[in-house]
Every structure is written in C-alpha cells, then in structure tokens.
Structure 1
Amino acid sequence: MRLLNKVALVTGAAQGIGKAIAEIFVKEGATVIFSDINDDKGQRACNDINIKRQQWGESKPAQYMHLDVSNESDWQQAEQAIKQKYQGLDILVNNAGITGFLETTGAHDPEHLDMASWRKVHQVNLDGVALGCKAAIALMKNRSTDKNSNSSIINISSRSGMVGIPLAAAYASSKAGVRNHSKSVALYCAQNGYDIRCNSIHPAAIYTPMWDTMLGEGDAREEAIKVISKDIPLGYMGDVMDVAYATLYLASDESKYVTGIELTIDGGILAGSTATPAQSD
C-alpha cells in the first residue's frame, strides 16, 4: 500500500502504459481517476480494475473521467471536479500522447512536414502536459504540510525526446519539450516552496498497442520483434509494467527527495547499442 490515501489522475489510461500505471496505483492503495478520450475503452478499463481491486483489500474504487488533454476547458473542468470531490490531488501522470502517424495525414519528416499535423502532435503531447502541470500545481500546492510526504507530477516523455527521429520530427520535438518542461516545473515548484516534485520518464522499445500497426501479424510480427530486439542491449522489448513500476516509485514518498530527473527505461539503448551482446548461433 505504497500510495495509501493518495489521489491520483492518470491520463491516457484506457490502454497500454497508462492502464498499467492506473492499475498498479489502485493496487497500491491510491484513489485513481482514469481519464481518456476513448470513453468506452476507458470506462471498461476502470470497471475491470474495480473488479480486481476487491481482491486487494483496502484499495479504493477507481473512477473514469473524460479528458481531452489538448483542450484547456477539459482541464479546467477536471480541476474543478477533483477539487470539489477530493479537495485536491496528490499525483498526476501525464501519459496521454500520440505519434501522429495514425491521428494525422501529413508527412512528419523535417523536409516535408505538414504544419497541421505538426501542431496536432504538439497540442496533445506538449500542450497537454503543460496544461496538466498547470492544473496539478493548483490542486497540489496546498495539499501537504508533511516534509516526508509531497505531491508528484510524472510526465511520460520518450527516448525520442533525447535523440533525433528523422521520420517522426514532430513526435521527437514534442517529447523533447516534455523533457525540458518537467525540469522547469520542478524548479518552479521548489523556488515557490510548493511540496510538489516533477520528473519525466523516457520509455523506449516498450511493447504497447501503439506498436501493433508497425509490427504486423503472425510470423511477420515475430520477425519484426526479433529485428528490434537485436538493437537493444538487454536483447528484448520491455513491457508496460517496466514503466508502471518506475512510475510507482516516483509517485510514492520513497522518492520524496527526487525532482527534475529524467528516468530512461530502454533496455540500455541510450547507454550505447554497440554494447549489445553477440548473438550465439
């Protein structure tokens, strides 16, 4: 029960990394607000967790909230609803994001990029995080007077925010913005004496539904996973729980002295792919 009595909001919680984070938060005792734009899938994920939580003893019921992170009025409504029902917020995970490949029509390389597509990716991935941090600060700044317990904002960036991605320039740019904004939020809260920490997490090669269209099906999928895994020093793709456990640490009071960091979860990719062990025959 590492998050007992804490109230958490997780964006993009209908599937993948967001769903895994929301589930482990519920399991660890938090009151969790699932949010997404896919209401059917989001409510179903929330209902599934509420069925499971009955096996976990003291965990609190989760609830679902519609939230388009790129829409400022949605954030304002969420802020008011959380303030009215819970009197504040202890944890925000800004997880919602898009690659732009499925959600927009334009090219994403630097030479041919389509500005409408560029803006859409940034509206969700970067503006959504900035608006989330703004709302969270208002809900968190008067939340705790205990130096051993403080509020936590966790922004899910990407390994793509630390390196260039030639055919996904908008995605890489937006995630780099998340990386830097997290540090600005961390310093701002510290300078103002708010008991709020802010950190970013940078996953890479984590198997989520976002990969489905790129991996194909059947034998082609297995072969694609093998090809990707060859460039990962640990030799395999990660799963959503690898990110969820890291998020749990940054959400808990165990990390009360940790702010402004970037935590990479990539199987060693950024440490240098040349360190990949030789494959035996």
Structure 2
Amino acid sequence: MYLINIKSNKKGFLWMGSMILLLSIFVSACDFGYELPEANSIPDETPPSAAFGFAPSDADFLTINFTNLSGSSTDYLWDFGDGNSSTDKDPSNTYAEEGSYTVTLTASDKLGVTSIYSETIDVVEPEVNFTPVIMNPSFDIEGDDSYRDGWRNSDLGGVIQITSSPVHTPEKAAKLPSAGDRIGYQLITVLPDTDYSLSFYYTMKTSPVGTLTVSILGGHVTDPGAVAGATIASVDLTDQDDANTYVPGSVTFNTGDNTEIAIYFTNVDVESRIDTFEITEL
C-alpha cells in the first residue's frame, strides 16, 4: 500500500511524495501437535471405576444376581462369559450349567472415559445343610402308645416292647422277645446319594444262640416279601457275652436315589435289646 502526499504551487502541481510501505502481517495458527480444548470443556477429574459383587439367587443357584459397585459412571456393558450380555446397571444372568465363567463389566461416563473390571465366578450347586432326624431314638419319649410311636410298621410285624432294665441311656430301651415276631421300623428323610453311618447300642441274652439284625431299607416297605430287595445295607449282631452290658454297633450306607430310608431291626431266637440310635453324615 502506498501513501502519496501532494503539494500544489502556482505553476501547477508538483508531485512530492514519499511512499510509505505498510506491511500487513497475517499470522495463522499452526498445528503444534495437540488439540485445543473445546469451549467450556472441563477435565475429567473423577473417571469411572468399574467394580461389582454377585450372589446366587435363593430360588435357583444357576441364576446369579450382580450388584454394580462402579463409581463415577453412567453407562454399563456386561459380558457374563457365557455369550450373554446386558446394559442394565444391576442385572441378573441365568447360566445353562455349572462351571467357571469370566464376567467383565465396562463402565463409562458421558465424556467417553471407560473402566473395565473382570472376575471369574464359580456357578455350583450349594451343599444342603440337612441333618436327618430319628424320632425318639432312645425310646424315652412317651407318646400316645407307650414310647413306641414312630417305631411301628404293622405290615411287617408286631410292635417292639419297651424295657427299663437294662438300658443304655437314659431310662428306656427297645426289646425284642425271642419269638422273633416283633420288629422296629422308622422311616426318615435323608439326602440322596449321601453316605451315612447309623450307630446304636445293643445287648442280647447269653442263650440260646441267635442274631439281632439292623437293616437300612430304601424307601417305605409294606410287604415282608419286599424287604430283602429293598435292603441297602444291614449288619448281623451276635455279641452274647453279657446280657446286662450294651455294646456299640453301626451300619454304614449310601442312600443312592432315595430321599427316604427306613431303619429296620429284627431278631432270631434270642431276646435282644437296642437303644440310642444316631445317624451321622460321613
């Protein structure tokens, strides 16, 4: 750009000028290797932190309920490790079978910052805390029929007698006369496919020679001819050294598919007494 100063005189115009060069400098922004922040943006001072807890459902152990413990996050993506996924905050997932699964939670905020947390969970059927109950195991609780309630099965034989001497503990015991026409029988609830030991104390007259048999039957039996086929385990007891001294006995067994078993005891030829039944899971 030029600036021209003009002066006039009487003879006309005399150009006297001086040129002033004005330099305009235009500065453009250059890329120095970073993006400038957007207008009104603020730094992500509290980025997401992904975390979760979990517990099986009370109704079905294959269903796992997840609790989201993430912080500073608004959006969630769950990978349950079995091909299923969810965007719920606190989801549940039902697995097809038992096993170990790696669950991954991706938590993010509205600025697009993410946090990832993974944990391997074991989906297994919980052990059932169950103890079988034998009713009146020491024959000391008097019911409607003289201490014998819960120990009768008239389809298989006559009901046991009750004796007060000798006994093991505390005051009464079951007695089978030598005729062998009475039986003790009680149906109890057990866990399937579980090992148990049934313990007891017994004594027998010193003569004549005979046998006291304690058996475990699979389920309820009402036909005497079906007893042998229903027997899971049994023990023949023959200690006749002292009629006044009780000795320990036991029978171990596995319940198989049964959820009920029957304690069944009988005798042959010799008067026998039995007391203090107890069942223990092995």
Q: Select the structure that is richer in helix.
A: 1
Higher relative contact order (CA 8 A, sep 6+): 1
Higher strand share: 2
How high is the TM-score relative to the length of structure 2? 0.22
Query: Which of the pair has more CA radius of gyration?
Result: 2
TM-score (norm 1): 0.22
